[in-house]
């Protein structure tokens, strides 16, 4: 019985430093929004440099792989592990 009482009082005494948590969340949110914005701005230039269509760029951007944009038979067989 004493162990249960000790465990409940230990939980009540535990406190968190809220300010460092909030600052880290704000910084990480800013970095995430900044990287998304920078990539969105650079996307048209990347399409020109890599000679890809907007559909291909959107597929890379949304899922990070060629699976959504690969339509040729050779590319499909490569994605399935066959050459």
pLDDT digits (tens, 9 = 90+) for 14-59: 888 999 999 999 999 999 999 888 888 888 898 999 899 988 888 8
Please report whether residue 3 resides in a domain: no
Please report whether residue 69 resides in a domain: yes
Domain total in the chain: 2
Domain that holds residue 30: 17-51
**Measured distance CA(77)–CA(66) in Å, rounded:** 12
Please report whether residue 7 resides in a domain: no
The pLDDT of 1-21, averaged and rounded, is: 72
The answer to whether residues 44 and 60 belong to one domain is no
**pTM here?**
0.48
Please report whether residue 9 resides in a domain: no
Dihedral of alpha carbons 7, 9, 11, 17, sign: negative
Please report whether residue 32 resides in a domain: yes
**Measured distance CA(13)–CA(33) in Å, rounded:** 37
The answer to whether residues 32 and 57 belong to one domain is no
The answer to whether residues 60 and 43 belong to one domain is no
């Amino acid at each position: 019985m004493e162990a249960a009482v000790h465990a409940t009082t230990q939980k009540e005494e535990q406190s968190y430093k809220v300010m460092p948590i909030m600052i880290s969340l704000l910084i990480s949110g800013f970095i995430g929004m900044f990287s998304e914005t920078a990539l969105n701005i650079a996307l048209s230039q990347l399409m020109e440099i890599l000679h890809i269509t907007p559909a291909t760029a959107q597929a890379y951007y949304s899922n990070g792989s060629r699976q959504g944009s690969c339509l040729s038979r050779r590319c499909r067989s490569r994605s399935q592990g066959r050459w």
